[in-house]
Amino acid sequence: MDLKKFDYDYIIIGSGFGGSVSALRLSEKGYRVLVLEKGKWFRSSDFPKTNWNLKRWLWVPALRFFGFFKVTYFRHISILSGVGVGGGSLMYANTLHIPKSEYFEAKSWSHLADWENELKPHYQTALHMLGAAESPRLEVGDLALQKLSSELGKEDLFQPTNVAVYFGEPDKTVPDPYFNGEGPERTGCNFCGGCMIGCQYNAKNTLDKNYLYLAQKKGAEIKPESEVYDVRPLNDQHGEDGYRIYWRKATSLFKKRGSFTCRGIIFSGGVLGSVSLLLKLQESSLPSLSNRIGHFIRTNSESLSGITVYDKQTVFSDGIAIGSILQIDEYSHVEPVRYPAGSGAWRLLMAPMAHGRNILVRIRIFLWDWLSQPIKNLKVYFVDDWAKRTQILLFMQTINTTLRFSKGLFRMKSGIASGETLPTFIPEAKDLAEKYAKIVNGKPTTLLTEMILSIPLTAHILGGAVMGESGEEGVIDKYNRVFGYKNMYVCDGSMISANPGVNPALTITAISERAMSRIQNKEIPPDLNE
């Protein structure tokens, strides 16, 4: 197809970490770029003050809720994800960690490249672009974790987090502090704790304030509320002549539809977006896709606990979302997580910590806890301000269990692929929560869905379009190119081919930087230079 007749050179589906990197780097190389994002475009004033404002917080189109926070339930896993221009950066906890060497040496992908050395410069680029800085304050919950580290004899393994936040002077707005004046104005963090319900104060370094902002200045277009439902090659079967992308209005009852042509395409909708779409397209317009789509789905093997105190002088909600981290051993670590004052919606899903191998054991422990401590349990549910009085502990662990997502009747369905079932109750997490509770004089709780249904929760769903030497091993090659098609890439969490054991945002950014660095600058024919 004549290059002049493409609507765009590249169309990017999704505006999370991989999509945002792709938008900027391709625009810098001279390509005409369009980003199609299913969610809305949020200004600081659009974010809710608390998570009780469900319509502004949650993404539930069936209820006409068009927020940025999505909860998806499967048989084997519950997933938290972001929807909107900026993807997961709108609701993640800002933490930017480089995984340990074990991640880069994992058998699932170490045969493809010397990942630790190859990605090292791209991690540094990502840290700069995302405005990484060390958390400057330890709050009540962080100090309690520091005390726990001392009790465990691991003081040297406790440290402040590296986060994507502009600290500066609290509430003071200054010209762009990151990109030599090319970026937007920023305002110093006031430590309100609201990172995960959307920063209202212009302090969080979300992708619309770095990669996407700069990509727009380079000519990239961003089209929000646009859900892609089909991708078809033009003229041939493998995309050598380009593609036509079909989209529909994601927030309208009357689904407005349209299409664009492009030379190349980048899937960046995350596991829930990209894998779901690829599974659908494999049965229709993209039959040459690898049969490995949906395989090797991983999490960081998380466990979430809530520690609620009754003392009204104790405030856990001040600070940034995650201000410190404690490495427990080479496989696991724990972080204290906070929500802003007034954000107590999660209390509806909390229950007494009842661990056990089966539901009968857990219900017995649950009932005994209520019978033996009725006043304490009632205080947890009716505490004056749940976010102020509750410290959430996030425990992560590296294990080899994987899931498989496959196409279901109406949406994807999950299944166990290898190893044991994803752990709902991790003994080390329970032990740490109980020790932490003693330090703060609080009561440990767990998620009701985990206790009753034995379904773990994750905010870090990964894999499903992993790397391999061929289509028999993976969906993409080591440069993120999709097997079976030309000028087609995957740059999002679905490309992650091993368990990083830490928040994956920085790694998704770094791998996407590497992938985009391999694409040559656009060569413009003389007749298009006018």
Q: What is the 3-state secondary structure (H, E, C) of 258-312?
A: EEEEEEEEEECCHHHHHHHHHHHHHCCCCCCCCCCCCCCEECCCCEEEEEEECCC
482 is in which domain, residue-wise?
3-47+59-131+205-298+460-524
Residues 72 and 9 placed together within one structural domain of the fold? yes
Residues 177 and 196 placed together within one structural domain of the fold? yes
Residues 517 and 435 placed together within one structural domain of the fold? no
In a domain, 501, yes or no: yes
Residues 322 and 418 placed together within one structural domain of the fold? yes
What's the pLDDT at 408? Answer: 87
In a domain, 419, yes or no: yes
In a domain, 322, yes or no: yes
Q: Which residue has the tokens 């769903």?
A: 461
In a domain, 54, yes or no: no
In a domain, 409, yes or no: no
Active site residues: 460
> How does DSSP assign 303-351, residue by residue?
EEEEEEE--TT----SB-SB-EEEEEETTEEEEEE---TT--GGGGGEE
> How does DSSP assign 40-70, residue by residue?
PPPPGGGS-SSTT-HHHHBEEGGGTEE-SEE
The amino acid sitting at 326 is L
In a domain, 77, yes or no: yes
Residues 106 and 142 placed together within one structural domain of the fold? no
Residues 121 and 189 placed together within one structural domain of the fold? no
Is residue 462 within 8 A of residue 490, CB to CB? The reply is: no
**Helices 427-440, 140-151: crossing angle, 10 deg rounding:** 120
In a domain, 485, yes or no: yes
Task: Tell me the β-bridge partners of 481.
Answer: 489
Residues 175 and 231 placed together within one structural domain of the fold? no
Pair of tokens at residue 50: 């608390």
Residues 452 and 472 placed together within one structural domain of the fold? no
Residues 225 and 281 placed together within one structural domain of the fold? yes
Give the whole-angstrom CA distance, residue 156 versus residue 141. Answer: 18
Give the whole-angstrom CA distance, residue 105 versus residue 89. Answer: 27
- The enclosing domain of 38 has a CATH number of 3.50.50.60
Q: Count CA atoms within 13 Å of residue 112 on its CB side.
A: 22
**Helices 505-517, 115-129: crossing angle, 10 deg rounding:** 110
Q: Which residues have a Cβ under 8 Å from the Cβ of 206 and sit 6 or more positions away? A: 86, 89, 90, 164, 199
Task: Tell me the β-bridge partners of 223.
Answer: 36
Nearest to 425 by CA among 451, 444, 445, 402: 451
Give the whole-angstrom CA distance, residue 158 versus residue 501. Answer: 16
In a domain, 407, yes or no: no
> How does DSSP assign 101-156, residue by residue?
HHHHT-TTTTTT--HHHHHHHHHHHHHHHTTEEE-----HHHHHHHHHHHHTT-GG
Residues 9 and 71 placed together within one structural domain of the fold? yes
3-state helix, strand, coil in the chain (%, to 5): 30, 25, 45
From first to last of its 530 residues, the chain has per-residue pLDDT tens of 455 589 999 999 999 999 999 999 999 999 999 999 999 999 999 999 999 999 999 999 999 999 999 999 998 899 999 999 999 999 999 999 999 999 999 999 999 999 999 999 999 999 999 999 999 999 999 999 999 999 999 999 999 999 999 999 999 999 999 999 999 999 999 999 999 999 999 999 999 999 999 999 999 999 999 999 999 999 888 999 999 999 999 998 887 999 999 999 999 999 999 999 999 999 999 999 999 999 999 987 788 899 999 999 999 999 999 999 999 988 889 999 999 999 999 998 888 887 777 778 888 888 898 899 898 888 888 999 999 999 999 998 877 678 999 998 888 999 887 655 666 667 888 899 999 999 999 999 988 878 777 788 888 999 999 999 999 999 999 999 999 999 999 999 999 999 998 899 999 999 999 999 999 999 865 444 33
Residues 21 and 137 placed together within one structural domain of the fold? no
Task: Tell me the β-bridge partners of 392.
Answer: 306, 337
State how many domains the chain has: 2
**Helices 17-28, 505-517: crossing angle, 10 deg rounding:** 30
Residues 12 and 157 placed together within one structural domain of the fold? no
Nearest to 265 by CA among 495, 485, 24: 485
